Chains A and B, each alone.
Chain A
Amino acid sequence: MAEADGFREFVRGRSAALSRHAYLLTGDHHLGEDLLQSALASTYRHWRRVRDSDPEAYVRRAMYHQHVSWWRRRRVPEQLTGGHREVAQADPADATALRLTMAQALSRLSPKQRAVIVLRFYDDLTEAQAAQLLGCRVGTVKRHAHDALRRLRDIAPELLHETERSTR
């Protein structure tokens, strides 16, 4: 199909990165899969328009918006403790324990806070870039980031302590 030119290659090339985003946003492999599927379906419908610009940014934006929309509609239980089908290999035991703590902490954040955390500290976007991608003001991103970090500090001080110590 002419209108799908390049779409399969795009999905093949970017699936890994997009899957990681979907997982971070949802905290659940099934939900992550559904979220990525839905975002890719939306991208495919507009592929002719987005293929020449930045399709990956479109997919990510679709995932963020879709995720917030799902949360509003369904209030899906958010847990970053879903059964991992592919467990990271050769992780040290303390790192696994730390990751579970991190996952639990992230699950306490609202979808918007989590989206900002992922954009700012996983994608390393500036506040302005994150605001543009989320379609909100910079001040909103700042507020969500501030609230998210404060909440993480409150609910998982040991996590922050561990991460601070581990990065020194």
Chain B
Amino acid sequence: MTEGLRQELRRTADSAPVYPVYERAMATARRTRRRTAAAWAAVAAVLAVAVPVATRPAVIPVAAGQAPSLPDRIGLPAYGSLDVDDRPRLGAAAVSFIGDSRRLGLLSGESELGGLVGAYEERYRTIDVGIASRRAPLLSPDGRFAADEGGLVDLSTGRSTPLALTPLAWSPDGRQIVGSTLGTAPGSVDLVIKEVAGGEFRTLATAGEAGFSVAFSADGDRLAYLADGRVHVLDSAGRELVAFTAPSGYRLAGKGAWTPDGSALALVASAAWAPRWFDPGTGQPVAGPELPAVSGGVVAAGLLGWRPDGSALLYLRREAGQAGQVLALSPRAGAPAQVTAVDPAITDVDLAARAISSGGTRAGDPPFLIGPAVWWWLAGIVLALGALVAGVRWKRRAGQRRG
């Protein structure tokens, strides 16, 4: 039987022509080789990006001797910007801000996100600040922590811990944070101080619903707060050194309200920049630094700190549609000098004390419209579409087989 099978197989095989496939085989081989090379190149590219990101240390060490600086321009984070807990970590920030922009709140256009700009380079991150927050996250003096009502975020690890207070000021050494909480009496607010590393609140004062404005002296030995129209100066143990009545409608000028030598305290009226200076030891008006006047319509202003050259840094929010500014007010200078231009959509800015005291500035480079996270979203969409198409084709093929 098998001999017949052999003969028949040979007869059948002999009817086959010689297939002219040499050129096509060569073309197929080259195409496959190109695709293989492209696939390996893609794998290498993905690994080149993924491995350094995955192996980057969770805590970013700050290079010795490296000084933080302020960008000369602050823009909005991109759509799809990395968040504060994304890798690579920011490490420390020089600037925090909030604003009214779709880039900071896709649903409402009001701040659901704040923005952070790196202490040493132009890296932007977003940070959750809750809907319609009015204050930029408060940066610790070294810029490593950002505090707001939601909690305390460590920018070097991306980890967030609850604070249970509305932060108002950091102590200059960064160990304590002062904030307000709801008081036990109806309609009252407590001023509390808390060790950042942990520990209980210590209540410093109680005031009405209007709350407090707070500023530490540069050496951290004294704390001034304004509540219910009076200024109180406390020592580091919380004992009141002096209290005096502020001019009506005035408040502390900002976290930099103390002059660097502690000899004067600046109070300003709302929505204007015309400081009046008081002796924090006596409460008497004094002649403070002769700072140049600020012209133009001002919606809000905050004295954020002092640079080594003696100039005060002032954040100004201008009227709607106008760009904000961070100005350097040098004593006896004829006019303020702009340090940083602020995007018109930004409504509040905070600067890390160390970035101010370094006196350094750098060229600002706000991100383009689309940020890195958008590419991940797009990659996910492409993968999902690819899976969908493959599924449909597989189903169609299965249908054909059954048919």
Residues of A within 8 A of B (CB): 4, 8, 11-12, 15-16, 18-24, 29, 32-33, 36-38, 40-42, 44-45, 75, 80, 84-88, 95, 98-99, 102-103, 106, 117-118, 121-122, 124, 149, 152-153, 159-160, 162-164, 166-167
A20 to B11, CA, bound (A): 10
Q: Which of B8, B17, B29 contacts A86 (CB 8 A)?
A: B17
A159 to B7, CA, bound (A): 12
A160 to B7, CA, bound (A): 11
Supplied contacts A41-B32, A163-B7, 4 more A-B pairs, CB within 8 Å: A8-B22, A37-B24, A38-B28, A86-B15
Total interface residues in chain B, CB < 8 Å:
30
Q: Please determine whether B12 and A99 come into contact, CB atoms closer than 8 angstroms.
A: yes
Does B18 lie at the interface of the complex (its beta carbon under 8 Å from any beta carbon of A)? yes
A106 to B2, CA, bound (A): 14
Within 8 A of A (CB), among B103-158: none
Q: Please determine whether A41 and B15 come into contact, CB atoms closer than 8 angstroms.
A: no
Q: Please determine whether A121 and B19 come into contact, CB atoms closer than 8 angstroms.
A: no
Closest-CB distance, B403 to chain A (whole angstroms): 12
Known: A23-B13, A41-B25, A121-B2. A98 touches B19 (CB 8 A): no
Q: Please determine whether A37 and B13 come into contact, CB atoms closer than 8 angstroms.
A: no
Q: Which of A37, A98, A118 contacts B9 (CB 8 A)?
A: A118
Q: Please determine whether A36 and B13 come into contact, CB atoms closer than 8 angstroms.
A: no
Q: Please determine whether A122 and B4 come into contact, CB atoms closer than 8 angstroms.
A: no
Closest-CB distance, A84 to chain B (whole angstroms): 6
Closest-CB distance, B400 to chain A (whole angstroms): 9
Q: Please determine whether A40 and B21 come into contact, CB atoms closer than 8 angstroms.
A: yes
Chain A residue numbers with a CB within 8 Å of B11 are 88, 95, 99, 102
A20 to B6, CA, bound (A): 14
Q: Please determine whether A45 and B32 come into contact, CB atoms closer than 8 angstroms.
A: yes
Which residue on A lies nearest to B23, using beta carbons?
A37
Chain B residue numbers with a CB within 8 Å of A122 are 6, 9-10, 13
Q: Please determine whether A29 and B32 come into contact, CB atoms closer than 8 angstroms.
A: no
Q: Which of A21, A37, A86, A102 contacts B28 (CB 8 A)?
A: A37
**8 A-B pairs closest in CB distance:** A163-B4, A23-B16, A40-B25, A41-B28, A20-B13, A41-B29, A37-B21, A86-B17
Q: Please determine whether A36 and B21 come into contact, CB atoms closer than 8 angstroms.
A: yes
Known: A40-B21, A41-B32, A99-B15. A152 touches B5 (CB 8 A): yes
Q: Please determine whether A167 and B3 come into contact, CB atoms closer than 8 angstroms.
A: yes
Known: A11-B22, A11-B25, A37-B25. A164 touches B17 (CB 8 A): no
Cβ contacts A to B, 14 pairs, < 8 Å: A4-B26, A11-B25, A15-B19, A22-B19, A24-B9, A24-B13, A40-B25, A44-B26, A45-B29, A86-B15, A86-B16, A98-B8, A153-B1, A163-B7
Closest-CB distance, A75 to chain B (whole angstroms): 6
Does B396 lie at the interface of the complex (its beta carbon under 8 Å from any beta carbon of A)? no
Chain B residue numbers with a CB within 8 Å of A24 are 9, 12-13, 16
Does B230 lie at the interface of the complex (its beta carbon under 8 Å from any beta carbon of A)? no
Chain A residue numbers with a CB within 8 Å of B19 are 15, 18-19, 22, 29, 32-33, 36-37
Chain A residue numbers with a CB within 8 Å of B401 are 75
Closest-CB distance, B72 to chain A (whole angstroms): 57
A102 to B383, CA, bound (A): 48
Which residue on B lies nearest to A39, using beta carbons?
B25
Chain B residue numbers with a CB within 8 Å of A102 are 8-9, 11-12
Does B290 lie at the interface of the complex (its beta carbon under 8 Å from any beta carbon of A)? no
Chain A residue numbers with a CB within 8 Å of B3 are 163, 167
Which residue on A lies nearest to B24, using beta carbons?
A37
Which residue on B lies nearest to A11, using beta carbons?
B22
Closest-CB distance, B32 to chain A (whole angstroms): 6
Does B395 lie at the interface of the complex (its beta carbon under 8 Å from any beta carbon of A)? no
Q: Please determine whether A99 and B8 come into contact, CB atoms closer than 8 angstroms.
A: yes
Does B239 lie at the interface of the complex (its beta carbon under 8 Å from any beta carbon of A)? no
Closest-CB distance, B28 to chain A (whole angstroms): 4
A25 to B32, CA, bound (A): 24
Chain A residue numbers with a CB within 8 Å of B13 are 20-21, 23-24, 122
A41 to B33, CA, bound (A): 10
Q: Please determine whether A19 and B16 come into contact, CB atoms closer than 8 angstroms.
A: yes
Closest-CB distance, A167 to chain B (whole angstroms): 5
Known: A11-B22, A15-B19, A32-B16. A163 touches B5 (CB 8 A): yes
Chain A residue numbers with a CB within 8 Å of B33 are 45
Closest-CB distance, A136 to chain B (whole angstroms): 21
Closest-CB distance, A30 to chain B (whole angstroms): 10
A122 to B8, CA, bound (A): 9
A95 to B15, CA, bound (A): 12
A8 to B24, CA, bound (A): 12
